[in-house]
Chains A and B, each alone.
Chain A
Amino acid sequence: MIYRESGQFKTSYRADSQIFPILQDRVGISIILLIALVGVPLFAGEYWINAILIPFLIFSLAAMGLNFLTGYAGQLSLGSAAFMAVGAYAAYNFQLRVEGIPFLVSFFMGGCCAAAVGVLFGLPSLRIKGFYLAVATLAAQFFVVWCLTKFPWFSNNSSSGVISAQNLELLGFPINTPETKYLLVLTIVILMSLVGKNLVRSSTGRSWMAVRDMDVAAEVIGIHLMKTKLLAFAISSFYCGLAGVLYAYCYLGAVEPDGFSLELSFKILFMVIIGGVGSILGNFLGAAFILLLPIFLDITMPVISAVLSLPISNATVSHVQVMVFGALIIFFLIIEPHGLARLWSIAKEKLRLWPFPH
């Protein structure tokens, strides 16, 4: 009833091809953006910003990067964490070694370095596919971590290999409070999502999907395979690299190579799978599910056990949390293999007809 597009006529190509063609969607997204941009910095507590929203946004960005590669271009990758590491360490070194460089430039260069490494490890994708490619990207995962550990130059000869992010300053305005860091991350994520959404709607995105669906056919209709695949690797790694920079500078503050482990790569891959392969919205849903659900269980389980006066220790909570989390993943995958994004679009379809479905 509320969510209905009747009466909304598109009279120009512009109107027809906008990202949110339905008025209600536009209103909804504006409200969300308003809350995120104004409401959260004003009213949210430090815990919400530092421990929940910032990592959520950063992982959404990383998942988006992987989604370009895996969801749109069909190239399975297990190296996302490695590309994040490249981004973080590259930005650190630019900031350290180039006198007076604005941090946004070093962030961008961090992304570019990740893109370069991504292209390098994307080269095997020209010959191999599927699981074999996943193994090749696995090599990236191990190589990058080894490389950052082995050569102390990358961490400015820190005896421990840990890099500590420098202070950020934008036009003389220091970015050191949770609110300002959050706004920085949010702005970057909004911009990158906008770019990403338009990218997958453009000819680039269409050629990625053509390659994903059948690369021989794509080649026959004139899509240059090498260019398309490597572009997917470059853009994907750029996004992951940028996420890595934000992870180091706006979230943890200090990172070590071991932090960017295979486990993190898997986490990002699960975000894509749970959220929705080949969907921009799915990245946000997936990141929220994977990141927030464990925290939610962690916080509620002691409360529930206290209410029911069950003798549950902290350690048991952690064990149960893992079990519930696993069960929920299986549940959602069985119910909707296309991820939470698909669930959302089904809900929208239903809402259009509601309350008279027949």
Chain B
Amino acid sequence: MQAVQFNLRSTSLIAKTLALSAAFVFGAMTNMSLLSSAQAEDQFISIPSYRVGPYGQNGQAFYGGFVDYLNKINMADNGINGVKLAWEECETEYNNAKGVECYERLKGKSGTSKGTAIHTMSTGISYSVLDKSQADKVPLIMMGYGRTDAVDGSVFPYAFPLVTTYQMQASAIVKFLVDKNNGSLANKKIVYLYHDSAYGKEPILALEAESKINRFKLVEIPVAHPGNEQGAQWLKIREENPDYVIFWGWGVMNQTALKAAQKVGFSREKIIGSWWAGSEEDVVPAGDAAKGYMSATWNVAGKGVPLIADIEKVVYAGGKGNLSDKAKIGTALYNRGVSAAVVTVEAIKLAQNKFGKGKVMTGEQMRWAFENLNITNQSLNALGATGLLPEIKTSCENHEGSGRVKIQQWDGTKWNLVSDWIEGNKALIHPLFKATAAEYAKEKNITPACLKN
């Protein structure tokens, strides 16, 4: 009897396993049929996004802004010269392996556009898809993150660390401090407190170079990922008693640092964060401890920009808003997502001007557009995006295109700008990029050359 029961149970199990594998095959087939139904006349944009996981809050705001702007283009302007934008998101959870899977999955659906422009908003994923995007001939856009030496377009034709890089940002922050201290940082002490990862380590070379020029003492203190425990680091900072702390945090590490600073009694007005440590998601949870804290930013927060108000009017009133939490509209990261979409759409327009209006642009044509971008204040004005982001002018030698940031300060309820656009020391920083890019080219047997088209 028992044997029979056992028998039955395992037979049903086998049936279940079979059913599962059948479901697998079925799933794959439906997936393929979806593939073929993608419409050819749309400009398809691959969006490997993240809205869950440890950095989900940041991703929601950024990709919310990104998608909202694309929606606005479709709704208010009926696409670009009649070409509608289409897109699909794939959840990466800020995980490199998942990011690669998403990249490949979206590539299969993208048709002629090859994905138009890939924004991963993750340095790790950018590194992982860098070679692939090069082979697939689709621009990889890393606005304010990523492989920063891709500034050298002769080695990295398809990678664009647009607007500005960590190194230029660090240099700009130092410049801001120099100005604040009447032109000299000599004999001052600056602590560099950073997320111990690719992101936090990239600016170190630049800061070391700056410390030699400006004769300040630099103390580097790493924080292990994810950074929700910083007691030891802040005790060390109190011991060092620096004049300023330059702070390269990300995610939960930011609020922890502000609270820890308050606990040891270090004035937040002497802390300057990077742009990934300068959003509402970072300071609101820290509450009172965040008051007076400053951070760099390459895009302006708030709803003061007409474009942002416009999106709320057109997209949200039309019921196509991407965010379920409307309070995120106008936050630093939301506006950053909008800025990234603005640049992408401007590049599509530019490409269409050269390669034919009303056509779907390929990855190669988009690459040309990103390398020949010229976004001026006039063109930003025309979009209603006055002052949202700095002017961008790219070339093969300069895939960065700007190198400017503003410094903003948190007053407890909102970010206030405390500086105009500050440009980092290009003469100091760009040769550093050139050197590491050359090393990369040597490692990979690439002969640096600018692509014509």
Shortest CB-to-CB span from A343 to chain B, Å, is 6
> How many Å lie between the Cα of A314 and that of B56 in the bound state?
12
> How many Å lie between the Cα of A343 and that of B197 in the bound state?
42
| Cβ contact within 8 Å between A254 and B127 | yes
Tell which of B98-106, B258-266, B274-282, B361-369 binds the partner: B98-106
> How many Å lie between the Cα of A350 and that of B9 in the bound state?
12
> How many Å lie between the Cα of A46 and that of B110 in the bound state?
13
> How many Å lie between the Cα of A225 and that of B163 in the bound state?
61
A204 adjacent to chain B (CB < 8 Å): no
| Cβ contact within 8 Å between A256 and B197 | yes
| Cβ contact within 8 Å between B205 and A159 | yes
B188 adjacent to chain A (CB < 8 Å): no
A343 touches which of B17, B96, B97, B205 (Cβ 8 Å):
B17
| Cβ contact within 8 Å between B97 and A55 | yes
Is the contact region of chain A dominated by helix, strand, or loop, or is it mixed? helix
Query: Chain B residues near A166 (CB, 8 Å)?
Result: 443-444
| Cβ contact within 8 Å between B51 and A318 | yes
Shortest CB-to-CB span from B137 to chain A, Å, is 14
B204 adjacent to chain A (CB < 8 Å): yes
> How many Å lie between the Cα of A346 and that of B127 in the bound state?
45
B287 adjacent to chain A (CB < 8 Å): no
Tell which of A65-73, A127-135, A186-194, A297-305 binds the partner: A297-305
A228 adjacent to chain B (CB < 8 Å): no
Pair count A-B, CB < 8 A: 131
| Cβ contact within 8 Å between B443 and A162 | no
Shortest CB-to-CB span from A69 to chain B, Å, is 23
| Cβ contact within 8 Å between A259 and B27 | no
Query: Chain A residues near B7 (CB, 8 Å)?
Result: 350, 357
> How many Å lie between the Cα of A256 and that of B204 in the bound state?
17
| Cβ contact within 8 Å between A51 and B197 | no
List residues 1-38 of chain B with CB under 8 A from any CB of chain A. Answer: 7, 10-11, 13-14, 17, 23-24, 27, 30-31, 34
Q: Which B-chain residue is minimally distant from A96 (CB atoms)? A: B443
B100 touches which of A51, A314, A317 (Cβ 8 Å):
A51
Q: How many residues of A contact B (CB 8 A)?
A: 47
Query: Chain A residues near B100 (CB, 8 Å)?
Result: 50-51, 251-252
Query: Chain A residues near B104 (CB, 8 Å)?
Result: 46-47, 50-51
| Cβ contact within 8 Å between A47 and B105 | yes
B55 adjacent to chain A (CB < 8 Å): no
B198 adjacent to chain A (CB < 8 Å): yes
Shortest CB-to-CB span from B19 to chain A, Å, is 13
| Cβ contact within 8 Å between A347 and B17 | yes
B202 adjacent to chain A (CB < 8 Å): yes
> How many Å lie between the Cα of A300 and that of B436 in the bound state?
43
Tell which of B76-84, B128-136, B414-422 binds the partner: B128-136
> How many Å lie between the Cα of A166 and that of B93 in the bound state?
27
Q: A50-B100, A343-B10 are in contact. List 18 more A-B contacts (CB 8 A).
A: A55-B101, A159-B204, A160-B147, A160-B202, A161-B198, A162-B127, A164-B130, A252-B128, A253-B131, A253-B132, A254-B127, A299-B27, A300-B30, A303-B30, A303-B34, A313-B51, A313-B324, A350-B7
Interface residues of B (CB under 8 A from A): 7, 10-11, 13-14, 17, 23-24, 27, 30-31, 34, 49, 51-53, 56, 60, 89-91, 93, 96-97, 100-101, 104-105, 107-108, 123-124, 127-128, 130-132, 135, 147, 196-199, 201-202, 204-205, 225, 324, 436, 440, 443-445
* Minimum-distance CB pairs A-B, first 9: A160-B198, A51-B104, A315-B51, A254-B127, A51-B101, A318-B52, A300-B27, A47-B104, A253-B131
Interface residues of A (CB under 8 A from B): 45-47, 50-52, 55, 96, 149, 156, 158-162, 164, 166-167, 176, 251-256, 258-259, 292, 295-296, 298-300, 303, 313-315, 317-319, 335-336, 343, 346-347, 350, 357
20 A-B residue contacts at CB 8 Å?
A: A50-B132, A55-B97, A149-B196, A160-B198, A252-B100, A253-B131, A254-B128, A258-B124, A258-B225, A296-B24, A299-B27, A299-B105, A314-B90, A315-B56, A317-B91, A318-B51, A318-B52, A335-B13, A343-B10, A350-B11
